[in-house]
Amino acid sequence: MRKRATEYGPLSIYDPIYLGIDENACPVDITLIYKNLLTAGEPGAGKSGALNNLVAHAALASDCRLWLMDGKRVELGLWRDRAEVFVGSSLDDAIDRLRELQAEMDSRYDQLDGWKLRKISRGDGNHPIMLVIDELAYYSATAGDKRTRETFSLLLRDVIARGRAAGIIVVAATQRPSADIIPTSLRDLFGYRLAFRCTTETSSDIVLGHGWHSRGFDASQIDPTTPGVGLLLAEGGIPRRMRCAYLSDVEISRIAGHPDSGSAA
């Protein structure tokens, strides 16, 4: 994280979030409030590294509630104590939590309706909630049975589609950028898309959007020896090649406030 973030008092989730640097070594900051972010790429490409930057900002923000879902448990596990909700490998828990989030979203819309406002804003009583899902496909295509996976996918789609104005930010990562995991209708709900190295140009297009590879933005061309390098597409723009910042386990533990940071014993 940039020093600016921690030196000058608490962060806000309404502030830009530092994600890394671009090809000209310019900082890449993204503003996630009222937006969602999808990231995908092959194993080891840098997805969890990217997510940890976003989670670090949210954990340090004084106005953000952090909800984490991590089928592997260790990718986001260092933030467990800082999170309001942490779901591991249980699909049933994930579904229960999504129902809770959906109910929270609906009650915020009731409130906004009553206040004659269109969206929550900085300083009002409702703190944004950042839901981070590392390995989306684990919940939507691997765990449980067909019925429960569909329930998960429907709930998640609703939260992504309707949550933005209620201050619900969804950040999701998947190793499998295929049409069954990320159908176009779902992909298009993500204002930010970050494609790390993919195996084919088709999977690169599934993350970024149809046709980008033929315009020279192809994540399958990323060198496999450069994890953390990806193409970031922000709503309405063109993909920007960048390298994500990377927090070590020790740094994460320090930010998360663990006394015994980094000890494997």
**Binding flag, residue 224, ligand ATP (CB under 6 A):** no
Which residue in the set 36, 102, 140, 175 belongs to the binding site for ligand ATP (CB under 6 A)? 175
Structure tokens at 188: 């298009």
Round to whole Å and give the CA distance between 101 and 196: 29
Element (H, E) at 157: helix 146-162
Least separation in angstroms between CB 51 and ligand ATP: 8
Annotated ligand binding at 48? The verdict is: yes
Least separation in angstroms between CB 34 and Mg ion: 26
Q: Which of residues 53-112 bind ligand ATP (CB under 6 A)?
A: 75
Cβ distance 113 to 49 under 8 Å? no
**Residue 132, strand partner residues:** 68, 171
Cβ distance 201 to 213 under 8 Å? yes
Round to whole Å and give the CA distance between 180 and 99: 23
**Binding flag, residue 42, Mg ion (CB under 5 A):** no
Which residue in the set 17, 38, 45, 48 belongs to the binding site for Mg ion (CB under 5 A)? 48
Q: Which amino acid is at 73?
A: R
Alpha helices (H) along the chain: 3-7, 47-60, 91-115, 136-137, 146-162, 184-187, 201-208, 249-256
Annotated ligand binding at 262? The verdict is: no
Least separation in angstroms between CB 204 and ligand ATP: 15
**Binding flag, residue 230, ligand ATP (CB under 6 A):** no
Q: Which of residues 64-123 bind Mg ion (CB under 5 A)?
A: 75
| Interacting residue ranges for ligand ATP, rule: CB under 6 A | 41, 43-49, 75, 175, 227-228, 243-244, 246
| Interacting residue ranges for Mg ion, rule: CB under 5 A | 47-48, 75
